[in-house]
């Protein structure tokens, strides 16, 4: 699966061998082949971009939930929202957004703090096309609502009825401020503009050291000097020579242009 490593940077070492086999077996059936060697040949063909995307969707890890590591949102309030000039726009990137819960959690905080007169926007991206589509819908199973603070549930979550019973929809005022798209962080980034804040949490653990540093440098190229980068509590940027100042555990400020 070396072609997949180069495509998405996903570490598929020996410890994940059985996981890979179990998740990809359905693709062999879909392609009407009976061996992984033949399937590897299909993935190696540069024209088979749709098949490689299908594999990325199957193998990427998408564990997420609303208001995960909520202490980061408190740092966002105190160190960004309270000091950001009211007349200036504010752009935040949820760079491993999965199915969108992180981006919408951030949006709820911004809506509560800034209202809608301030020009704030959130961009969410993921390597999985399936996850991006879920995020764009803003529709979630009702059991996921428990992690959202009660006040925010009343303001920003619409309980589904009819065929949507058992689901809830993020309010359009929030959805209209959020945009989601497919971005592969191991490849050159598209023209995304720049951001005051980037969240990249609980994703570094899936990459080797060389890929980790390469991804962080790509992210920093889109982060404005003085902007904040958030990573997950189980992650570290140690031994990376980066223009970053540690603010709180897992929170960094960009000190200079990279």
In this predicted structure, what is the pLDDT of residue 196?
98
Question: pLDDT exceeding 90 applies to what percent of the chain?
Answer: 62
In this predicted structure, what is the pLDDT of residue 5?
44
- The pTM of this model reads 0.81
What CATH code would you report for 71-254? 3.40.50.150
- Catalytic residue set: 23, 126
Where do you find CATH 3.40.50.150 in the chain? 71-254
In this predicted structure, what is the pLDDT of residue 202?
86
Q: How far apart are CA 147 and CA 205, in angstroms?
A: 24
pLDDT tens for residues 89-99?
999 999 999 99
In this predicted structure, what is the pLDDT of residue 59?
66
pLDDT tens for residues 163-177?
999 999 999 999 999
pLDDT tens for residues 115-156?
988 899 999 999 888 889 999 999 999 999 999 999 999 999
User: Which residues in the chain show pLDDT less than 50?
Assistant: 1-3, 5-6, 8
């Amino acid at each position: 699966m070396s072609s997949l490593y180069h495509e998405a940077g996903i570490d598929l070492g020996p410890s994940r061998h059985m996981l890979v086999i179990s998740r990809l077996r359905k693709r062999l059936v879909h392609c009407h082949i009976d061996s992984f060697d033949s399937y590897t040949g299909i993935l190696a063909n540069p024209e088979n971009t749709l098949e490689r995307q299908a594999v990325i969707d199957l193998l990427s890890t998408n564990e997420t939930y609303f208001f995960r590591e909520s202490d980061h949102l408190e740092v966002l309030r105190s160190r960004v929202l309270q000091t950001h000039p009211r007349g200036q726009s504010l752009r935040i990137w949820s760079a491993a957004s999965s199915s969108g819960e992180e981006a919408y959690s951030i949006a709820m905080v911004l809506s509560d703090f800034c209202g809608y007169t301030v020009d704030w926007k959130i961009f969410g991206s993921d390597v999985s096309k399936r996850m991006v589509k879920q995020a764009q819908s803003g529709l979630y199973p009702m059991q996921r609502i428990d992690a959202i603070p009660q006040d925010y549930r009343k303001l920003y979550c619409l309980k589904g009825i009819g065929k949507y019973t058992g689901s809830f929809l993020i309010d359009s005022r929030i959805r209209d401020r959020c945009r989601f798209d497919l971005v592969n962080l191991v490849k050159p980034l598209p023209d995304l503009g720049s951001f005051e804040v980037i969240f990249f949490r609980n994703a570094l653990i899936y990459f080797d050291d060389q890929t980790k540093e390469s991804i962080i440098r790509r992210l920093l190229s889109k982060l404005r000097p003085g902007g904040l980068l958030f990573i997950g509590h189980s992650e570290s940027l140690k031994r990376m020579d980066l223009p970053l100042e540690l603010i709180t555990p897992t929170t960094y400020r960009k000190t200079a242009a990279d």
